[in-house]
Amino acid sequence: MSAYTPASEVLLRNSDDFQDSHILFAGDLQDMLPAQLPCASARVFTQQYHHWQQLHAQMGEQASWGMYAEAEQVAGCDTLIYYWPKNKPEAHYQLMNLLALLPIGSHIFVVGENRSGIRSAEQMIEAFSPLTKVDSARRCGLYHGQLEKYPTFSPDAWWGEYQADGVTVKTLPGVFSRDGLDSGSQLLLSTFTPHTKGKVLDVGCGAGVLAASLAAHSPKVRLTLCDVSAAAIEATKATLQANEVEGQVLASNVFSDIQGRFDMIISNPPFHDGIQTSLDAAQQLIRGAARHLNIGGELRIVANAFLPYPKVLDETFGSHEVIAQTGRFKVYSAILRRPGKK
């Protein structure tokens, strides 16, 4: 199996074009090609903390992450290689940000799988950098253009807001359930009971709606929330502030940056990384929860009913219970009866 994604393999087919380039890599980065592609210089900007962790280990300060790029993170680059994500509003936000910073005349390459909707890139940035398809392989397309004019980019213009069960939810492009509360989270919320107490960890917090809703009827909970997405972290902070809820919000790849133990861990875990199906995060969540729960503490998650989580729950906790379900989703509860291994 290749160490590279199909998109990166298409870039490697065209590696001769990049040897003299000062490249900024951005978008849905899922492998180590930015640290390994022969070129004059390479930088990385990503909104995904777990992608940054991997690339920073090899690239040091040339890899950065955050909600949006700033001028110093782009300085000296004359080429953008943008990996197209599955979420078009996310791509739009990121591309407008980056094109507003690169020098006029910069080479713009957009690469991604056809099923991700990469063809939308042509229309999306046509006014600033008309694109032409220059390669097609591995069910991916590679598009090229040159930056002709700057877009106007204002981070504040991209915020959205909606109401969910009396909670004000602040959202940004790329954040899960950006336009409304998803039915899985709604089912999980229905299992929360008033007057919950203790320390609660929300893993993969998205826009923060689970924790904010819990705090609305259980004000004595002490909240910690984490996500790998910079957009989710900013949205969560804004959601908590809008609802006058206190909580610690931090970047963490599942439990990578989590300290201590909790009385409850809640999550609507993802089962994709980009457009690829991946159960890794959810399995890490289940297996790692035992090391971050107090004795008698509970892991409560919602998942699509077809996903194979009961076996992992039983291997980790000894047993589990389905406390709510619909035709599509199940809410699993598992109690820690014995000390979790450190």
pLDDT of residue 282: 86
Position 274 scores a pLDDT of: 46
What's the pLDDT score for residue 308?
A: 86
Q: pLDDT category, 178, cuts 50, 70, 90?
A: confident
How many angstroms separate the Cα of 164 from the Cα of each of 117, 207, 300? 30, 12, 20
Q: What is the pLDDT of residues 263-278, one digit of tens each?
A: 999 999 876 444 444 5
Task: Report the pLDDT value the prediction gives residue 277, as an integer from 0 to 100.
Answer: 44
pLDDT score, position 275:
44
Q: How far apart are CA 211 and CA 202, in angstroms?
A: 7
pLDDT tens digits along 62-78: 999 999 999 999 999 99
Q: What is the dihedral of CA 123, 179, 235, 92, to 10 degrees?
A: 0
E-strand stretches of the chain = 22-27, 41-46, 63-65, 79-83, 107-113, 132-137, 140-146, 160-164, 167-171, 198-203, 221-227, 248-251, 262-267, 272-273, 276-277, 293-304, 321-325, 329-335
- Mean pLDDT of the 164-192 span: 91
Average of per-residue pLDDT across 307-316? 92
Nearest by Cα to 23 from 13, 10, 36: 36
Strand order through the sheet with 140-146: 63-65, 41-46, 22-27, 79-83, 107-113, 140-146, 132-137
Give the domain 6-155 fold: Rossmann fold (3.40.50)
For the segment 3-45, what is each residue's pLDDT rounded down to a tens digit?
999 999 999 999 999 999 999 999 999 999 999 999 999 999 9
Task: Tell me what the mean pLDDT of segment 248-275 comes to.
Answer: 87
Structure tokens of 173? 């492009």
Q: List, for residues 142-176, the tens digit of each pLDDT value.
A: 999 999 999 999 999 999 999 998 999 999 999 98
The reported pLDDT for the residue numbered 202 is 97
Mean pLDDT of 300-323: 94
Instruction: Say whether 159-336 and 6-155 share the same fold.
Output: yes
pTM: 0.93
pLDDT in tens, 327-338: 999 999 999 997
- For the chain, domain boundaries: 6-155, 159-336
Using a pLDDT cut of 90, give the percent of the chain over it. Answer: 87
Average pLDDT, the chain: 94
DSSP H stretches of helix in the chain: 6-13, 33-36, 49-59, 71-74, 88-99, 120-124, 183-189, 209-217, 230-242, 280-289, 309-317
Q: Label residue 250 by pLDDT band (50, 70, 90).
A: very high
Check whether domain 159-336 has CATH 3.20.19.10, yes or no: no
Residue located via tokens 């931090």: 250
What is the predicted pLDDT for the residue at 181? 86
